[in-house]
């Protein structure tokens, strides 16, 4: 998930009682809850380099004890204070585990088992961010500060209920995802129980909405096409007017694109790869624009995460690139 959610979760864990384990516990949990995303350093080598390494080795189970030791050493060095090593290290393990678990809940996924397996794991319960989770975690962070200010103004000595609110926020987070898991299972069952143009689905996915937990994006793969439409877990199932993306025949342009980076890596990453081939004039010659995206994140010329290539009339790739945007302006 996004780093705001990771950070707020780390603070909530500290305030829920883990701050008693070690000095500077809040910094230990805050840093460890974000440490795996240090792979952003690869962005200095370009968008594709970051995309290729993101949620890779830094997000593996094998990296947790290493990251935990690094964070403890960093906090001890900055604070110039000796920390209780084992307890501080365990705090960081909890913070790191929270990061991997939260990334597991969304549609992007995480590769827990690197370097032993490159499989992606995703629960499709949350988007890359969620406004309801934000709201509850921010409230748990801010309200004790406001409450403490009011208490000082009226002269009371009662401590603000920061621990209770943090525990309640974490319980809400867990219950909210369990609720979403129930809705997700219902939508997936609906999708799997139907025929699409007379054909059963090969694969389906129900993708969450970051604003409305009752609205889901449905993706259905059949032998010849992918279908995308919005649906809801309750009421009449509605798959009318889907966007349909037919699987193209293998052409010289498509075959050439498939054989190069970043297309090879993107095909490994994508769950629902959609191709778009469009005639263009490139360098005064007729050719083809090849666009590859994943229906989890966009459609041709829309959304995000796109590989794009221009080929000549013989299918030779003239130029290619990866973009986190739609690529519609290029």
> What pLDDT digit, counting tens, does each position of 140-179 carry?
999 887 765 444 544 444 444 588 999 999 999 999 999 9
Average pLDDT value over all residues in the chain: 90
Residues 204 and 319 both lie in one domain: no
- Rounded to two decimals, the pTM is 0.90
Q: Per-residue confidence at 92, pLDDT binned at 50, 70, 90?
A: very high
Bridge partners, residue 277, by sequence: 290
Q: Per-residue confidence at 329, pLDDT binned at 50, 70, 90?
A: confident
Residues 191 and 280 both lie in one domain: no
Mean pLDDT of 69-75: 96
Cα(102)–Cα(125) distance, rounded to whole angstroms?
Answer: 10
Residue 202: inside a domain: yes
Q: Per-residue confidence at 313, pLDDT binned at 50, 70, 90?
A: confident
What the block records as the tokens of 303 is 């959304």
Residue 281: inside a domain: yes
Mean pLDDT of 65-86: 94
Which comes out higher in pLDDT, residue 156 or 127? 127
Residues 241 and 273 both lie in one domain: no
Residue 283: inside a domain: yes
Q: How many structural domains compose the chain?
A: 3
Mean pLDDT of 45-74: 95
Q: Per-residue confidence at 282, pLDDT binned at 50, 70, 90?
A: low
- pLDDT for 3 beyond 90: yes
Which comes out higher in pLDDT, residue 241 or 104? 104
What the block records as the tokens of 249 is 């025949």
pLDDT digits (tens, 9 = 90+) for 179-201: 999 999 999 999 999 999 889 99
Residue 209: left if φ>0, alpha if ψ -120 to 50, beta else—which one? beta
Nearest to 54 by CA among 116, 117, 120: 120
Mean pLDDT of 259-277: 94
% residues pLDDT > 90 (the chain):
76
- pLDDT for 268 beyond 60: yes
Mean pLDDT of 110-129: 95
pLDDT of 131 reads 95
Structural domain including 212 reads 178-245
Q: In what order do the strands lie in the sheet with 243-246?
A: 203-208, 216-221, 225-231, 243-246
Question: Which CATH number characterizes residue 266's domain?
Answer: 3.30.505
Among all chains, which residue has been given the structure tokens 């096409």?
A: 225
pLDDT of 150 reads 45
Residues 7 and 124 both lie in one domain: yes
pLDDT of 154 reads 47
pLDDT digits (tens, 9 = 90+) for 201-246: 999 999 999 999 999 999 999 999 999 999 989 877 776 678 999 9
Task: Compute CA 129 distance to the chain's CA centroid, rounded to the nearest angstrom.
Answer: 8
- pLDDT for 290 beyond 80: yes
Q: Per-residue confidence at 300, pLDDT binned at 50, 70, 90?
A: confident
pLDDT of 135 reads 95
Residues 254 and 240 both lie in one domain: no
Residues 86 and 47 both lie in one domain: yes
CA angle 302, 293, 48 (to 5 degrees): 105
Phi, psi of 199, rounded to the nearest 5 degrees:
-120, 140
Residues 57 and 122 both lie in one domain: yes
Among all chains, which residue has been given the structure tokens 């032998």?
A: 223
Residues 239 and 265 both lie in one domain: no
Mapped to the 3 state alphabet, what secondary structure does the chain carry?
CCHHHHHHHHHHHHHCCHHHCCCCHHHHHHHHCCHHHHHHHHHHHCHHHHHHHCCCHHHCHHHHHHHHHHHHHHHHHHHCCCCCHHHHHHHHHHHHHHHHHHHHHECCCECCCCCCCCCCECCCCECCCCHHHHHHHHHHHHHHHHHHHHHHHHCCCCCCCHHHHHHHHHHHHHHHHHHHHHHHHHHHHHHHCCCECCECCCEEEEEECCCCCCCEEEEEECCCEEEEEEECCCCCCCCCCCEEEECCCCCHHHHHHHCCCCHHHHHHHCCCEEEEEEEEEECCEEEEEEEEEECCCEECCEECCEEEEEEECCCCEEEEEEECCCCCCC
pLDDT of 330 reads 66
Residue 142: inside a domain: no
């Amino acid at each position: 998930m996004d780093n705001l959610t990771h950070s707020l979760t780390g603070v909530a864990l500290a305030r829920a009682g883990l701050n008693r384990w070690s000095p500077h516990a809040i910094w230990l949990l805050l840093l460890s809850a974000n440490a795996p995303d240090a792979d952003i350093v690869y962005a200095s080598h370009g968008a594709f380099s970051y995309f290729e390494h993101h949620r890779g080795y830094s997000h593996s189970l094998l990296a947790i004890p290493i990251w935990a030791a690094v964070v403890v050493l960093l906090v001890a060095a900055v604070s110039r204070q000796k920390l209780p090593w084992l307890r501080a290290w365990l705090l960081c393990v909890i913070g790191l585990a929270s990061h991997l678990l939260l990334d597991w809940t969304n549609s992007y996924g995480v590769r827990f088992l690197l370097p032993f397996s490159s499989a992606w794991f995703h629960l499709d319960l949350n988007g890359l961010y969620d406004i309801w989770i934000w709201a509850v975690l921010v409230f748990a962070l801010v309200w004790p500060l406001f409450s403490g200010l009011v208490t000082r103004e009226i002269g009371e000595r009662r401590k603000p209920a920061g621990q209770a609110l943090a525990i309640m926020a974490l319980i809400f987070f867990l219950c909210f995802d369990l609720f979403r898991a129930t809705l997700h299972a219902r939508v997936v069952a609906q999708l799997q129980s139907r025929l699409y143009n007379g054909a059963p689905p090969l694969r389906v996915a129900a993708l969450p909405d970051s604003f409305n937990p009752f609205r889901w994006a449905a993706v259905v793969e059949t032998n010849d096409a992918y279908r995308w439409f919005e649906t809801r877990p309750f009421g009449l199932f509605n798959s009318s007017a889907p966007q349909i993306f037919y699987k193209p025949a293998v052409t010289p342009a498509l075959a050439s694109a498939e054989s190069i980076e970043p297309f090879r890596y993107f095909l490994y990453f994508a769950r629902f790869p959609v191709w778009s081939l469009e005639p263009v004039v490139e360098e005064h010659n007729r050719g083809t624009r090849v666009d590859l995206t994943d229906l989890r994140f966009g459609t041709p010329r829309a959304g995000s995460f796109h590989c794009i290539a221009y080929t000549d009339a013989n299918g030779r790739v003239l130029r290619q690139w990866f973009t986190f945007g739609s690529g519609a302006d290029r």
